């Protein structure tokens, strides 16, 4: 195993982690502040990817595709919130799970009807299609762009949440939404804004994931479930927790798949390693989650003090 | 029956409303007569679809112990359905083909797994519990996908079905065994609901803190309910594998967990007969929509949304009224 290979795997892990962060940051706020369990967040991601792919086909501009996806999802979320989700927030968790489960089923099949079963391809922009060389080490320029974008969003969210008045309300809402409402803040507007912000980030994630993952119906759910793991590890409602949780999950998942088989091959009989390796690699993230919960049931960065 | 306390009879809650026992009797007669009818007309598809309905009804009755009585929203019970199914090829691989021994193996394997998963998951409540049960189910889904020996993500046809030592009974015998199991489990869940165990469980659903304040720690009750419900689901999976002669990770998919919840809620959350009614109506609607259009999921999705928003007490709740003065 060469150092270059390890470094590539590590960077891939960070890149995947930051993609998960884009999903988790919005969803953890929706869970934490609105106390709304939204299984359809993966569908927003899928819709984002399709909006980007469709825009790209018509304009051949990747930046326009990203902008269309982010803006489109922001607006779509505001509409969805008005139509149905605001009413759902008043219901109990079981009804939210069922209703958003119904939305997921609908969205996947609707996409299949419109775009067919075959994956849609979205090309990375030409400027980023060649690998870049850093001190003699080659790495995909596009993936570096994802890392940069993820870090930028993390910084922007940090500034929004820790430095602005809206952010103060978000933090207050995460720890006790009833009290915030009682102090005269229009929690309905705050909810709509957070929901739309989360959807826009999911749209961004879908758009930039397009060129490295296949855009197809049902693409949202594997990402959604890893996002849930991130949120549980990080602590519901904590953007900081989502950031560190996402990086941990991304790196462990990627290294588990990329590096673990090699290590196991060296330690075990190849036939056993071949059978156990993939199983351990795919289960690694969940073992981590179980371990975190066994010691810290509220996650690594708990915010809710009720 | 007179040995039972209070009003007597296995299903006193149903007796209160006089149509309910007739409905139950009609369901049992319909269940018994399906293979007879199929035998006369040679329509084997009917037995296959009814077996599927009974399997999911059994799993839904299991889930109801945890979700309905205990209020624990598990989004991961498909995992136990799948584990129960995978017991059949794994046990056959180990040289165990006797059905009873396989069932013993199932209890010995799934019981502790459910115990550990339940114990970790029950450290949390609310949204976190939903997400953790979902994540654990995904973990077992990927485990099954990665075991190439049992067909990986494509699944595997069973070389050897469970052997219960009954000659030439085939699918019909299995169907009756399944029907009998379902009736026994439903009767047991009725007993359980009215037992001290069931009362503590339901009280904890309504107000966990108050149960604690009254001097009973609800956690062991919730954990036991979780494990019991997992075992019932696993037995349903065991039947599923034997009925279809096939196991695949698809039976552990998270959508199956969602569908099981839909069945329980559609039938009537926390009612004894609800899960059966829910599974029956859900799968019949599914069959109807499949016959209607290839893109039936586009219709099913919004139907689930409507059900979640409008049907608060479930179909059985509409028919039978408030079962035993239940609080919800």
For residue range A137-159, list pLDDT tens digits in order. 778 888 888 999 999 999 998 89
Confidence of residue B5 (pLDDT cuts 50, 70, 90): very low
Of A87, A110, A232, the CB nearest to B132: A232
Per CATH, the number for A3-123+132-295 is: 1.10.3470
**Predicted pLDDT at A153:** 92
Tell me how close the Cα of A130 comes to any Cα of chain B, in angstroms: 34
* First-last CA distance in chain B: 28
**Predicted pLDDT at B56:** 95
The token pair that represents A152 in the structure block: 């930028």
**Predicted pLDDT at A275:** 67
Write out pLDDT tens, residues A251-264.
988 888 877 777 77
Tell me how close the Cα of B77 comes to any Cα of chain A, in angstroms: 14
Q: Does B284 touch chain A (CB under 8 A)?
A: no
Query: Please, which residues have CB within 8 angstroms of residue A144's CB and are 6 or more apart in sequence?
Result: A11, A132
Write out pLDDT tens, residues A45-99.
999 999 999 998 888 888 898 999 999 999 999 998 888 777 787 788 888 889 9
Query: Please, which residues have CB within 8 angstroms of residue A62's CB and are 6 or more apart in sequence?
Result: A56, A123, A124, A125
ipTM, two decimals, is: 0.84
* DSSP bridge partners of B247: B156
With a pLDDT cut of 70, the percent of chain B lying above it is: 89
Query: What is the residue whose two structure tokens read 């609080």?
Result: B327
- Which position has the higher pLDDT, B133 or A259? B133
Q: Where are the domains of chain A?
A: 3-123+132-295
Could you tell me how many CB contacts below 8 A there are between chain A and chain B? 132
Tell me how close the Cα of B43 comes to any Cα of chain A, in angstroms: 31
Contact assignment for A105 to B262 by CB distance below 8 Å: no
* DSSP bridge partners of B227: none
With a pLDDT cut of 90, the percent of chain B lying above it is: 37
**Predicted pLDDT at B327:** 36
- Which position has the higher pLDDT, A6 or B323? A6
Tell me how close the Cα of A275 comes to any Cα of chain B, in angstroms: 6
Confidence of residue A216 (pLDDT cuts 50, 70, 90): confident
Report the relative pairing of strands A131-134 and A137-140 from DSSP bridges: antiparallel
**Predicted pLDDT at B322:** 53
pLDDT at B1 over 70: no
Searching chain A, which residue's CA lies closest to the CA of residue B74? A94
Write out pLDDT tens, residues A154-175.
999 889 888 888 888 888 877 7
Q: Does B252 touch chain A (CB under 8 A)?
A: no
Contact assignment for A95 to B302 by CB distance below 8 Å: no
Q: Residues B25-51: what's their mean pLDDT? A: 79
Tell me which long-range contacts B110-116 makes (C-beta under 8 A, separation of at least 24): B110/B80, B110/B83, B110/B84, B110/B230, B110/B231, B110/B234, B111/B227, B111/B230, B111/B231, B113/B83, B113/B230, B114/B80, B114/B226, B114/B227, B114/B230, B114/B231, B115/B223, B115/B227
Choice among A62-76, A85-99, A195-209, B64-78 with the minimum mean pLDDT: A85-99
Give chain A's mean pLDDT.
85
Query: What is the residue whose two structure tokens read 């006193």?
Result: B12
How would you classify residue B152: left for phi > 0, otherwise alpha for psi between -120 and 50, otherwise beta?
Answer: left
Q: Residues B289-299: what's their mean pLDDT? A: 89
Contact assignment for B148 to A294 by CB distance below 8 Å: no
Residues 207-246 of B with CB under 8 A from A: none
């Amino acid at each position: 195993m060469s150092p270059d290979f390890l470094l590539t795997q590590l960077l891939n892990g960070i890149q995947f982690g930051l993609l998960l962060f884009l999903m988790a940051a919005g969803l953890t706020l929706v869970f934490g502040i609105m106390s709304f369990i939204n299984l359809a967040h993966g569908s927003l991601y899928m819709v984002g990817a399709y909006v980007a792919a469709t825009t790209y086909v018509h304009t051949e501009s990747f930046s326009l595709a990203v902008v269309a996806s982010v803006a489109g999802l922001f607006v779509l979320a505001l509409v969805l919130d008005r139509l149905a989700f605001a009413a759902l927030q008043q219901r109990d968790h079981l009804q939210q799970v069922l209703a958003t489960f119904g939305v997921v089923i609908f969205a996947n099949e609707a996409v299949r009807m419109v775009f067919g079963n075959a994956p849609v391809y979205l090309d990375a922009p030409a400027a980023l299609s060649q690998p870049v060389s850093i001190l003699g080490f080659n790495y995909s320029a596009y993936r570096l762009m994802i890392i940069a974008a993820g870090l930028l969003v993390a910084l922007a969210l940090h500034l929004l949440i820790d430095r602005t008045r809206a952010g103060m309300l978000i933090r207050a809402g995460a720890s006790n939404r009833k009290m915030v409402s009682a102090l005269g803040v229009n929690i309905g507007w705050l909810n709509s804004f957070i929901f739309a912000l989360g959807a826009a980030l999911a749209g961004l994630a879908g758009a930039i994931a397009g060129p490295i993952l296949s855009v197809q119906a049902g693409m949202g759910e594997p990402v959604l479930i890893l996002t849930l793991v991130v949120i549980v590890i990080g602590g519901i409602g904590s953007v900081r927790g989502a950031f560190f949780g996402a990086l941990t999950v991304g790196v462990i998942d990627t290294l588990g798949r990329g590096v673990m088989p090699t290590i196991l091959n060296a330690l075990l009989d190849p036939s056993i390693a071949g059978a156990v390796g993939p199983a351990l690699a795919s289960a690694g993230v969940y073992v981590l989650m179980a371990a975190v919960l066994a010691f810290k049931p509220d996650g690594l960065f708990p915010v809710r003090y009720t | 029956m007179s040995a039972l306390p209070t009003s007597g009879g296995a299903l006193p809650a149903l007796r209160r409303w006089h149509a309910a026992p007739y409905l139950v009797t009609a369901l049992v007669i319909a269940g018994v007569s399906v293979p007879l009818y199929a035998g006369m007309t040679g329509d084997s598809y009917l037995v296959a679809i009814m077996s599927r309905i009974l399997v999911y009804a059994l799993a839904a009755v299991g889930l109801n112990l945890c979700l309905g009585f205990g209020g624990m929203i598990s989004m991961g019970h498909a995992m136990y359905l799948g584990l129960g199914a995978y017991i059949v090829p794994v046990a056959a691989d180990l040289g165990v083909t006797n059905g009873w021994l396989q069932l013993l193996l199932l209890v010995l394997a799934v019981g502790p797994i459910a115990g550990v998963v339940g114990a970790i998951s029950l450290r949390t409540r609310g949204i976190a519990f939903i997400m953790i049960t979902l994540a654990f189910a995904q973990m077992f889904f990927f485990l099954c996908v990665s075991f190439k020996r049992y067909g990986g993500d494509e699944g595997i046809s069973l070389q050897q079905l469970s052997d219960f030592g009954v000659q030439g009974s085939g699918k019909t015998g299995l169907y009756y065994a399944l029907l009998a199991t379902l009736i026994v489990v439903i009767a047991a869940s009725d007993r359980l609901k009215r037992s001290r165990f069931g009362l503590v469980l339901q009280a904890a659903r309504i107000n966990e803190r108050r149960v604690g304040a009254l001097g009973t720690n609800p956690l062991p009750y919730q954990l036991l309910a979780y494990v019991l419900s997992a075992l019932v689901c696993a037995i349903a999976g065991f039947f599923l594998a034997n009925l279809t002669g096939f196991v695949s990770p698809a039976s552990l998919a998270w959508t199956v967990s969602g569908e099981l919840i839909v069945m329980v809620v559609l039938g009537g959350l926390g009612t004894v007969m609800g899960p059966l009614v829910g599974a029956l109506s859900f799968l019949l609607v599914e069959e109807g929509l499949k016959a209607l259009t290839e893109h039936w999921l586009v219709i099913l999705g919004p139907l689930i949304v409507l059900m979640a928003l409008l049907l608060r007490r479930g179909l059985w709740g509409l028919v039978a009224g408030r079962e035993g003065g239940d609080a919800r």
